Chains A and B, each alone.
Chain A
């Protein structure tokens, strides 16, 4: 009996071949295909070049990526390609014709990752343990299939590791002077320019962006300010004020391996307001600020002059719900809705500011805040300090590149499950992350190194 291989059929017809499950081609008729990825161990923001060869020419294949998050959830991406006349596929050259992305997207298998079918709802991919890599299995499947189909034929596979931490980067937990954070130091004697890394109202201690900054040569300090067991209770409000942030800044500044007058602040979401507040009120002078999708004032009422806030859930007038019951916090950060006494005196901005807007941000009124910043700085004669980047189709969570975006994710589960909208469409959001990251690193290089 002769096995009719996909190769033979495609010689006689031009139709797209359906994947054939279960046929194991006899190895002496058919060469084993080879799938390579280079480098196989990369930092999260590095390009990986994926190629397949010794495949049948002009045949349908599916590239597939699979991994497990730190929480054990399965994420996957896939794309449909046709091999070219010499039986190769090269993701830096070829176009996907379907799947998690289309077009020529060398890193599409990484930013196009989505929770595998059957996963819990509302997942967001965030690395908790930055000292281990994401281990991704890349495989080459026969035909145009989706990975969850029951009968698929895997032709070849390669494993890659993607790291947030370069070798030699040192991670230190900081619990000092009441300050709660994690410090990442690059390898080498230093001293290094530094970055204070602030996230949003989701709280906790988010380390991955800092780990990546350290891998680029910056001492980077992820700071927790709410929702962390080592911070004063209750955990659903900001219980630390200006002195806390000042202490954190000084901790960084006084570190013997940090260049005291080369410290920047990077903030996302509520972290934007905090960055601006620290720069204008805390009596410190950072060298530059990077602000992503956040307000110029607090979205929650303050309880004191130092910036402590009420509970996040107290004031829900500006919460907006879509027809699926998902909440958008966007209106909370409209300049008119911000707590007036918290609004930062932008005229006092002491240093260059890069403000990044995702135009499809459903969690913050980034565009409106960006406009306000621009108007205020212009009026104050300081608009040369401002670099404004705006990305169509990008959402709230503009993060390091080649990582998937979640358009919506689980926000809280008490008293009942609440999902929040972040916005952003996969391809434009990925493009925004890639471009913004390069520009952020350039900006930091200009103001923290030169």
Chain B
């Protein structure tokens, strides 16, 4: 091997959807040499994120991230995608950052590099041995993005390529608010017409024009779209969106979802309240907010204990569609696992618990996102009164990332089973 020719780094595929894996390999190294594999990403918010892992080349001078052990860095062990999920803000960054793609029409650009030796820092000041660029996309080619402002509902609809009709999804995010499109874009890349719904503006929830009817309207926008199969529309909620999902699935007479996915949600809300009151109710009980050693706010105890009677809960015994609950056992924001227990109890009593599937992940936190996204244990959050705090979401990086990867597979399988596959025998033929 000539030292004049540097090592060859390759990432295959170099363009991929965010939930696809890649193979990172290095060749043409001296045998048994210590190298560091490094990833670098500049977010839409202009923050720099990085991950790195320490490897030793084999007799042939090669390193394969999928097959070899990583001995140190931001991750360890055999982790094909460690360079993505273990990313964190580079030293010196602002506190409490969160990585969220705002423009889903462009890819996340990740620079993958290999450095000589086992380095822990200083990646910006020394030249790598080799470097390649990887594109990670939320949107597949041909997916159509349509801004929706109809009958008062606001959001973005993503439609897969093809003639349709497609199953539909109403995608509802959490109390952080704003409009996050990336999950819907990804669902559309998997064949679902998905509407990312905007229903909470950060810090400005007093607007009383959001009622439960708003969600029913949004659901119908999806259901009645010419490219959507009207009887194959489901809900997908996260956090506050899950609360809404539970409520609508149980109590709405106007809409009938075919199935629901609730990530990190609860079934608690003041019965009979309007939506704006729901949100206010959650933000009450400030005395129950605890602080951790870093002064990060822990909100989970606000909703505990789970009420015994129906005055503070969705009547989940009335749900009549399959429900998938995905929760993290280290969720510090909502008592999702306790709530899931209670939901199961209520549904068992009502005789509809065969509809319920619960998946709970040890050491996973609140923000269970698409796979290979970095983990955020605590990030800045703007409360309804515009006060900026840091919320503790929970979770430890490795188990949280495992949860993201596993839950996404299970969520896609669940959606496919209930929205694509034929239901067990109905009267036909």
Give A395-437 interface residues, CB cut-off 8 Å to B: none
- Is B4 a contact of A261 with CB atoms below 8 Å? yes
Q: How far is the CA of A167 from the CA of B165 in the complex (A)?
A: 34
Residue A259 lies at the interface, judged by CB distance under 8 Å to chain B: yes
**Chain A residues in 8 Å Cβ range of B164:** 32
Indicate with 1 or 0, residue by residue over A24-38, a CB within 8 angstroms of chain B CB atoms: 000111111011101
**Chain A residues in 8 Å Cβ range of B14:** 43, 166-168, 215
Residue B28 lies at the interface, judged by CB distance under 8 Å to chain A: yes
- Is A31 a contact of B133 with CB atoms below 8 Å? no
**Chain A residues in 8 Å Cβ range of B429:** 8
Indicate with 1 or 0, residue by residue over B94-121, a CB within 8 angstroms of chain A CB atoms: 0000000000000001000100000000
Stretch of A119-127, A183-191, A276-284, A380-388 contacting B (4+ beta carbons < 8 Å): A183-191
**Chain B residues in 8 Å Cβ range of A248:** none
- Is B161 a contact of A187 with CB atoms below 8 Å? no
- Is A41 a contact of B16 with CB atoms below 8 Å? yes
Q: How far is the CA of A103 from the CA of B229 in the complex (A)?
A: 35
Residue A158 lies at the interface, judged by CB distance under 8 Å to chain B: yes
**Do A158 and B4 contact each other (CB < 8 Å), given the known contacts A34-B420, A40-B189, A42-B15?**
no
Partner of A187, one of B132, B137, B140, B165: B132
**Chain A residues in 8 Å Cβ range of B130:** 188-189
Closest B residue by C-beta to A37: B140
**Do A188 and B13 contact each other (CB < 8 Å), given the known contacts A40-B189, A157-B162, A449-B8?**
no
**Chain B residues in 8 Å Cβ range of A43:** 13-14
- Is B140 a contact of A54 with CB atoms below 8 Å? no
Q: How far is the CA of A27 from the CA of B142 in the complex (A)?
A: 23
Give A5-34 interface residues, CB cut-off 8 Å to B: 8, 27-32, 34
**Chain A residues in 8 Å Cβ range of B129:** 189
Residue B20 lies at the interface, judged by CB distance under 8 Å to chain A: yes
**Chain A residues in 8 Å Cβ range of B403:** none
Residue B91 lies at the interface, judged by CB distance under 8 Å to chain A: no
B134 nearest CB across to chain A (Å): 7
Residue B232 lies at the interface, judged by CB distance under 8 Å to chain A: yes
Residue A217 lies at the interface, judged by CB distance under 8 Å to chain B: yes
- Is B191 a contact of A160 with CB atoms below 8 Å? no
Give B1-59 interface residues, CB cut-off 8 Å to A: 1-2, 4-6, 8-10, 12-17, 20, 27-28
Indicate with 1 or 0, residue by residue over A180-220, a CB within 8 angstroms of chain B CB atoms: 00000011111111000000000000000000000101000
Counting contact residues on chain A (CB < 8 A from B), the size range is 35 or more
Residue A46 lies at the interface, judged by CB distance under 8 Å to chain B: yes
**Chain B residues in 8 Å Cβ range of A261:** 4
Residue A70 lies at the interface, judged by CB distance under 8 Å to chain B: no
Residue A389 lies at the interface, judged by CB distance under 8 Å to chain B: no
Partner of B162, one of A38, A154, A187: A154
- Is B6 a contact of A190 with CB atoms below 8 Å? yes
Give B128-156 interface residues, CB cut-off 8 Å to A: 128-135, 137, 140-142
Residue A39 lies at the interface, judged by CB distance under 8 Å to chain B: yes
Q: How far is the CA of A166 from the CA of B133 in the complex (A)?
A: 8
12 contacts between A and B (CB under 8 A): A28-B231, A34-B420, A35-B162, A39-B17, A139-B162, A157-B142, A157-B163, A158-B140, A167-B133, A188-B128, A189-B130, A262-B4
Beyond the given A32-B191, A190-B6, could you list 18 further A-B residue pairs with CB under 8 A, ordered by the A residue number?
A31-B422, A32-B165, A32-B232, A38-B20, A39-B16, A39-B17, A154-B162, A156-B162, A157-B142, A157-B161, A158-B161, A159-B161, A163-B15, A187-B132, A262-B4, A449-B8, A449-B27, A450-B2
Binding site for B on A (CB under 8 A): 8, 27-32, 34-36, 38-43, 46, 53-54, 135, 137, 139, 154-161, 163, 166-168, 186-193, 215, 217, 259, 261-262, 448-450
